[in-house]
Chain A
């Protein structure tokens, strides 16, 4: 697509503003804001990871060696909050910022100044959250789920947490509005909805989920706040309230939140696998419909987190069946990825390695999800390390591996240089082995009877905990390789990336030069269907 490249060079004349402050703090450019989001997410990934390292060190052997039990609870609470709201979600928003305008042929996001504000709320939100460690009474320690009465029992850390939720919630909602407005209104002519890359589709649906559930979370935590400080009794049994009500509100947010963290990863994987299979994505339309069904179902399964709270029989049956139903569209996705590879011409560069690992390991997380959906079995699994294993397979080898695949996949486009394939592969193999050493034994621990969120345990659990901790340390250390590789690529690498970067790459983002100039698609590109990634969708 020579014309697009020419156009790119033409755009390159409008350069990025000079001056560090103007460029990065006042930015309204989707690429710069995307970069900021990704750097922020990386930073939070390591802060949350450091907490995980302390947790795994304390659990290395039975007995209390490093931290007091209360501080341990602060760590588990903050680890979850930082990883969910600080690492995974901002990383996906960063990828959305970078890639959605490039993929749909838009010059920028629809609301560039709001985009700036969405990002810059986050550093403040996280300063509030992390500063709670220095409060008298410490950081919130009632779990990231904030169940009352426990969560409002401690010091003022919970107030900091609630304000943090409000700020990052506003940030997410603004980001979501921006993404929806961009996708619905900024597509280049000819970029019909059913020609959009799957990544754009998954983000469109994710953004709707965000808009539907972030206000619910904000409402729920505000009720928590007034319960603690202003004498209301929404969740206080002694005042006529109901602690279980909070769980309903929280999980009405919480379950779609799980899909907010995985749908964009589905999108990335649906870009990476066809590229390195050199074959169109199998069942493009089915992928879109499956994503939409998953999003719809995610609103009617929330009580599967509450099976042991003594729900009525009818409710438990309904939520069990609805939860099991989610396996169907999720299965469709997995089968379609495998079928995309079937009959392709496969190569295994780092993004593809992460994508393949994603498909296998996320599916393992899905398997334990099906087991957890069975109510009587959940009576055993609930609140054990089996659950910890389940959601870490979904969120680490799912969401985080998806992000890593995306970063390796698009880094050459962002930076104009090829990353070190050799170190990318070393990072992948260390990660994929250690992450299983880290999380797989947790299944056994949970089944054998180890509850989650405990700082110490019976000696029968010692062996698997030690194995898991060793896996954790290796996994944590391996991530430094990725940072090194990114720094090398951006600042030191010699090998220039071509515009197309990958032999099998399809889609508009690969028609602009590498590195992508500061402004792209100031004039809408002409869409050539055969150059899009979705394959033939006409029948």
Chain B
């Protein structure tokens, strides 16, 4: 009863976090890139 459910794996979790962070950073890079392009 105290155990987690099957398939709840720390490695999957870490990979998910990494994927989320990369996507979000790409989004930010695009937004900032638009601003940087103003200086060119």
Contacts and interface: CB of A to CB of B under 8 A. Distances in A.
* Chain A–chain B contact at Cβ < 8 A: yes
Interface of A: 3, 6-7, 10, 110-111, 173, 176-177, 180-181, 184-186, 188-190, 211-212, 215-216, 218-220, 222-223, 226, 232, 234, 523-524, 526
Nearest to A234: B38
B16 A177 contact: no
A110 B32 contact: no
Contact of B1 (A3, A173, A181, A222): A3
Given A110-B17, A181-B21, A189 B4 contact: yes
B2 to A, nearest CB: 5
Contacts of B39: 226, 232
A184 B35 contact: no
| List of 9 A-B pairs having minimum Cβ-Cβ separation, nearest first | A219-B35, A185-B16, A189-B5, A524-B4, A215-B31, A181-B20, A110-B17, A181-B17, A185-B17
**Interface secondary structure of B, over-half rule:** helix
Given A177-B24, A189-B7, A184 B16 contact: yes
9 contacts: A6-B2, A7-B2, A177-B20, A181-B17, A185-B20, A215-B32, A219-B32, A232-B39, A523-B3
Contacts of B25: 177
A523 B4 contact: yes
A428 B12 CA distance: 46
B2 A219 contact: no
A215 B35 contact: yes
B28 interface: yes
Interface in B6-34: 7-8, 13, 16-17, 20-21, 24-25, 27-28, 31-32, 34
Contacts of A3: 1-2
A448 to B, nearest CB: 42
A111 B21 contact: yes
Contact of A523 (B2, B24, B32): B2
Nearest to A6: B2
A219 B34 contact: yes
A414 B31 CA distance: 38
A61 B28 CA distance: 48
**Interface secondary structure of A, over-half rule:** helix
Interface residues of B, number: 23
A189 B10 CA distance: 12
Contacts of B2: 3, 6-7, 10, 523
A111 B18 CA distance: 10
B1 to A, nearest CB: 5
A219 B17 contact: no
Contacts of A111: 17, 21
Contacts of A10: 2
B8 A524 contact: yes
Given A177-B25, A211-B27, A222-B35, A184 B4 contact: no
A185 B8 CA distance: 11
Given A185-B16, A234-B38, A216 B4 contact: no
Given A212-B31, A223-B35, 9 more contacts: A3-B2, A10-B2, A173-B28, A177-B25, A180-B24, A185-B13, A189-B5, A215-B28, A219-B36
Nearest to A183: B20
A523 B36 CA distance: 45
A510 to B, nearest CB: 18
Nearest to A230: B39
A190 B21 CA distance: 23
Contacts of A526: 1, 5
B20 to A, nearest CB: 4
Contact of A524 (B5, B21, B35): B5
A189 B3 CA distance: 11
A6 B2 CA distance: 9
A181 B2 CA distance: 25
Contacts of B31: 212, 215-216, 219
Contacts of A215: 28, 31-32, 35
Contacts of A220: 35
Contact of A180 (B3, B8, B20, B32): B20
A535 B2 CA distance: 24
B16 to A, nearest CB: 4
B26 to A, nearest CB: 11
A7 B34 CA distance: 49
B19 to A, nearest CB: 8
Nearest to A218: B32
A181 B16 CA distance: 8
A211 B34 contact: no
B7 to A, nearest CB: 7
A223 B37 CA distance: 12
B6 to A, nearest CB: 8
Contacts of B21: 111, 177, 181
Contacts of A212: 27, 31
